[in-house]
Structures are given as C-alpha cells and as structure tokens.
Structure 1
Amino acid sequence: MNSTEAGLAAARPDVRTRRAGRLFSAMAKENAVGYLFIAPSLVLFAIFLFYPLLKSIYLSFFLTDPRGRVAAFVGLDNFGSLFRSDAFWNSLLVTLKFTALTVPTGLLLALLLAALTFGKLRGMRTFRFVFSLPVALSVSTSSVIWMMLFHPTTGTLNYFLTKIGLSPVQWLTDPAWALVSVSIMTVWMNSGFQYIVLLSGLQGIADDIFDSARIDGSGPFRTFFQIIMPLVSPTLFFLSVVSVMSAFQSFGQMNILTKGGPAGSTEVFVYSIYKEAFINYQFGTGSAMSLVLFAIIMLLTFLQFRFERKVHYH
C-alpha cells in the first residue's frame, strides 16, 4: 500500500464519522420540530388531564372543607366509606343498567340503518343526511328536545299513545320508566356518530365481494351475517369500546332531564361524583369516586380487548 492509499484508508473513518454526525444532527432537528408541533397539545393535556388526575389522587386521601381546602389526612378511609355506601352501589348498578340499555341497542340500530342505506340506490343521500343529523347536536340541545317530547301533558309521545288508546306514561317522573326514557334519548343522540362510522366501514368493503356472493347464490341474510358482519367487526369493536366508555361517563342528559331522580333511578356514577363533590362539598370522597370510575373503565376496556382475537382484520 502506497502513501496515497494509506491516506485514503485513514480518511474513510473520518468521512463515516462526519456522515453519522450529520445524520444524527438531522434526526435531532426533525425530532425537535416534531416536539415543537405537539408542545401545545402536551401543555393542554398537562393542564386539563394530568394535573386534575394528580389532584384527584391527592384529594382522595384527605377530608376537605366546603372550599375544597385540605382539612385532615384520612388515608384510605374515603375509599372504605365509599364501598360501604349504598348510594355507591346503587349508582354503579344504575350505570350498568344504562350501559346495557344503550350500547347494544345503539350499535344494532346504527348497523341496521347503515346496512339499509349504504347501497347506491337513488335517494340514499337524503336518508344518510337525516340519519347523521344527531351528531350535530350537543347533549344539552338533545336533552331539551326530548324533554319536550317526554312532557306528560303536552309531549308528542303521550299524544300518540292516547291516539291509539293507551294511557299516558310519566316518562321522567316514574322510577320504572325514567332510566328507559333517558336511554332512548341517549341511543338517538349517539346514533349519528355510530351510523357515520358504520356506514364508512360498510362502504370500505370492495364491490367484488358482494358480486362474488351473488354469483355463489348467497342470499341477503347469509351475505349479511357471514360476509358483512365479519368485515365490519373492527368497526363494531371500536364502537363498542367507545360506547361503553361514553356510557360510563354520561352526565349531561341526567342532569338536565331527571337530576338523578326519581328516587335515584337515574343517578349514574358520574352524577354521583358531581353530587358528592359540588352539592355535598365532599371533594375527597368525590375524588375517590372518580378514581374508582377510572379503574372500572380501564378494567372494562381491558376485558373488551381480550375479545379482540374474534375481530376479523382484512
């Protein structure tokens, strides 16, 4: 090896080092730009999510005065008194009933409407627009609309019941009907979002699949249950997880329509937290309840993901 070749061989590591340095510098700049873009979101999460969570954990170990100031350290006594409270178990039972009434019904209704309107027939766009309308309404607006429909004397629902010879129903004041009434309103309120998501899932299925099914002589019911259902199972799984979480966090419609009544029949878990913290001014117990709700939602989400193996990802 002459002197020139030796110099080139000695220079190669320096070239590699410089290239690695430039690559590392470029990656660092790219990462810095990425963190700069997500910094506003991180700040908002820290203010409105992480800080309240840490504050709730802190307050759950204390008794507080009506202004929310720490009065005395009680350790786990707030959790103990919570699990010994009949109101806690009643709110949990009401929330489970509410979830059972709204989630399966809402998914079945949205799936039925999406299956009826995802075709390319004339006039389907009008139906899609109508079925998607509830997504544009807030909880308060939807609650006010249904409050007028549920009115015992001037409500439209009782008007039609009397027209067919049935007795009027005390929709929001009868303990046997109050939770059902709020559930009906909730199913309608959530139907727009669920319908749009399921319609998108159905429209994502290739036309060749339906053509092959028709050629093989598959009827509409067999096509729906053996072809469509497995192909939209990822969409249904996503909606089931989101709907269960939403049902356990429902508050607005109960606060507007029933105030948790009558006789606690619509006092769901979040309304109990609100009442404990902002009506009874027991912020320590309210914080403990919010942490229990967080744990319950995490457990339910984990159990739902255990069934993910039955989802057909195509």
Structure 2
Amino acid sequence: MIRSFDEVLQKLKSLETKKVAVAVAQDEPVLEAVRDAKKNGIADAILVGHKEEIEKIADKIGMNLSDFEIIDEPNVAKASLKAVELVSTGKADMLMKGLVDTATFLRSVLNKEIGLRTGKTMSHVAVFETEKFDRLLLLTDVAFNTYPELKEKVDIIHNAASVAHALGIEKPKVAAVCAVEVVNPKMPETIDASLLAKMSDRGQIKGCVVDGPFALDNALSEEAAKHKKVTGEVAGKADVLLLPNIHAGNIMYKTLTYTTDSKNGCLLVGTTAPVVLTSRNDSHETKMYSIALAALVADNMKK
C-alpha cells in the first residue's frame, strides 16, 4: 500500500516508463511539470501545440526540448484532438490538459471517433498527502460532476476505487460523506449514502467497501467515530471520501490545498486512459504529481 507521493515516485522507477500526450502544451506550469516528470523518471511526453510558443517557454524555464517530441499545431481545438488521438491509438498512455479551456478539451475527450469515452460516468479524483494522516486520502468528485444521482455515484465510487487499487489499496474503504452521520429524509444525500452502503453489503458495488452516511469527523477520526458510536469497517478509517456534490467537494479540495501543508494530484477517470485534469491555479508540483498518478493508473489498467 502506497502511503505518500514519494512512494508513488519510487514505485514508478520499477515500472515501464509511460508517455503522456499534452494538449496545447504552451503553458509554463505544464511544461515545468513535464520537465520535472522526465527528470524524475516519471514519464516521457509528446507536446502538442504551438511550437514557437512552446520553445519560448522552454527557453525561459531551462527545459531541453531535444528530450521531447513536439507536434506543431497552433489551432487549440485541433491540438487538443490530436493529443487525444495519440492516446486512443496507443502512441501515448495518458492525456494531459494544457492551455486549453475545459469545454474544448472535453469535447476532444468525448469525440465519437477517436475519444476516450467508455459509456460510463467520468469523474474527478483528487489524491492528498497531508501531515495529519498516515495514508493517502482520495476525494471525489471535486471538479466534474455537479449533483450526481445514485447511479452516477456508483460509477464515481468504482472510478475512485480503480485509483485506490493502483495505489496498492486492495479493498479501499469508501465513506459517503454528508453533513450528519444519520439518515434524515430532509437531506437526500443521507438517503443516497444509506442506499450505497446497502448496495455494498449486497455485493452490487465491487472492489471496495462503502458505508454511510458519515459526517467528515467520524469518517476520518476513529476517536470521533467512537465518541459518536459510529461503528463499522469504514468508520474513522476512510481511504476515499465520496462528497455529496461539487460544492462540498470543491470547497474541501481548496481548503486542504490552501490551509494545510499537503501534496496532491488529480485525475479524470472513467475513461479508456487516465486524464490529467488540473486547475489553472494548481502548482507545477501538483501537475507533476498528477502525471505520476496517471502513470501508475495507466500501468494498472494494462494488467
């Protein structure tokens, strides 16, 4: 079981080097992340975008472009689609969003001819390493699905579990987090949480154990769970936090990012290959860790 990003990087050294296709690569933090990923043996890259702009940024950050393949495509939509095609045809193992708006990028990902769709719900997974915990913590969905319904939540759980499995967590503990740890008919999220728990009990959700509803404290703290008499395999020991909607997820993501000494990486999953989908405001370190996570997930998908 991998417990830190240092362990992620160490694990990747024993695996075949993966390749990431970067859509619209002329972005400084993205190129810094790609440069550092190459330097640390995390992944190689194919840079798709405006070659002249890529060269200007590379010169500014001291990046040796002779180590990378560049496909010159100044048109943003065409560059995005070309990067997706590289992944769907097996020339790259994963995809990364560069200096392209999310809508254009996702249209390429969902392209009917060469896209990465699977027919299931796509979802965002953020993986955090914090000083407080002795394990990595997975949050979902903090950036993609707005108000997921029960069926979508099942797919979101399976997607997060696939990332957890790549991290060596054989049976991830998934907590369906709400404002309270009891079922309240006036709070629909608690009803969904209880249904997901029962579906898990009956084997309708595979590869993990799901319980809920949980308040955040008794999902993460064994002491809080004991104090509130919340019991079960997941109570106080959650590996994955299933957030009820994008508001809760996004606020928690940014709270951890800006108020704690933490590291994180982000992926879009539920696709035929992992997709690095980070915020424009994310640091190049976060983007590099996201590439590392994608490489680990891509390797696990091939097994």
- The interval holding the TM-score normalised by the smaller chain is under 0.3
- Is the helix fraction higher in 1 or 2? 1
With structure 1 as the length reference, what TM-score do the two structures score?
0.25
Structure number with larger C-alpha Rg: 1
With structure 2 as the length reference, what TM-score do the two structures score?
0.26
- Is the strand fraction higher in 1 or 2? 2
